[in-house]
Amino acid sequence: MASAYAASMTMLQMAAGCWLSQAIYVAAKLGIADLLQDGAKTCETLADATQTNAGALYRLLRALASLEVFAEDEHGRFRLTPLAECLCSGAPGSLRAFAIMLGEKEHRRPWDDVLYSVRTGQPAFDRVFGMPHFRYFAEHSEAGRLFNEGMASRSGHENDAIISAYDFASFGTVIDVGGGHGTLLAAIVQATVNTRCVLFDLPQVIAAAPDAVERKIVQSRCEFRAGNFFDEVPSGGDVYILKKVIHDWDDKSALSILANCRRVMPSTGRLLLIEPIIPPGNAPSFNKLLDLLMLIWTSGGKERTEAEHRALLSAASFQRIRVISTKSPLSIVEAVPLT
């Protein structure tokens, strides 16, 4: 009986997980953690600063404090905790932008329709918003900004983990295909002495790539090139990186991207797929939840197992495939061209 009750309570907390996610979203959106960086404050003070109702804000923060997101003292003041510090803007490992992205309608409403995706295998995002998510974010600038900021907020830790796990210093030229705003290439440039880097992505992405400070850091050894990886990719690279690119596409489309990389790679070149990998069995994994997001957001995109990555690379004429773990949910799948 006791074990049944414990299981029921665990299921209750899991089923109500969306309540917690939305509460974190509101705290992140209001910038509560930033307001507490200089010390504990009452809800009245926080409500004045955020133009919210003090009583309602207290109820929100009390609920979060019960899960160690913030803490309330005996005087009714709230302060930061290690978890709450993750919601501070600009802090190492900050997830504020990611938490905001998760609470916006572009993320939340497709989850409301996840049953449609499970029944049909089709993306709920397209059904809810009438177009694929890449097109939607390109056409809706504010939503696109929040999406890009959310994705970028996770990049710092991921990039540090990648740099720690893989030695780029011995390569002359690294080409990041679909590399977004260039945060990984900037990290590679800063971690190496002579390595040149090429950032390759769609024209609108390249136009909004690194800001002036980032450009100053990397411009001497980094080139920005616009194009579409379904048409062609730049030649001349010793290493080709596809970070969280392949998981957006079905196998046919992924093979087209890989074939374009293979076509321009030298026989001594290296291809790095940097992706979340689904572990076998029943082991808990954040990547398995990410795979559900791919189900509702993309047409055919998915997180793959190691065996699926190996099969995909072999079909694209790559060999000597090895998997390198990192201190993040991402792994590096390294392969060389089949000769």
Cβ atoms of 302 and 310 within 8 Å: the answer is no
pLDDT (mean) for 232-240:
96
2-93: in CATH 3.30.1490.20: no
What is the residue extent of each domain of the chain? 2-93, 162-337
pTM, to two decimals:
0.88
Higher pLDDT, 187 or 33: 33
The answer to which of 76-85, 208-217, 260-269 has the lowest mean pLDDT is 208-217
> What is the CA angle 168-173-177, rounded to 5?
90
Cα separation, 136 vs 143, in Å, equals: 8
Tens-digit pLDDT profile for residues 189-232: 889 988 999 999 988 888 876 553 354 455 678 888 999 999 99
Cα separation, 105 vs 112, in Å, equals: 10
Tens-digit pLDDT profile for residues 285-314: 999 999 999 999 999 999 999 999 999 999
Assigned architecture for domain 162-337: 3-Layer(aba) Sandwich (3.40)
Choosing from 107, 133, 157, 247, which is the catalytic residue? 247
Residue 66 buriedness (CB in 10 A; 0-12 / 13-18 / 19+)? exposed
Q: For residue 107, indicate whether it is catalytic.
A: no
The closest alpha carbon to 93, from 9, 173, 158, belongs to: 158
Per DSSP, 68 falls in state T
Tens-digit pLDDT profile for residues 136-181: 998 998 998 888 888 888 888 899 999 999 999 999 999 999 998 8
Cα separation, 337 vs 55, in Å, equals: 63
Cα separation, 210 vs 215, in Å, equals: 6
The closest alpha carbon to 131, from 110, 104, 152, 100, belongs to: 110
Helix (H) or strand (E) holding 227: none
pLDDT (mean) for 242-268:
96
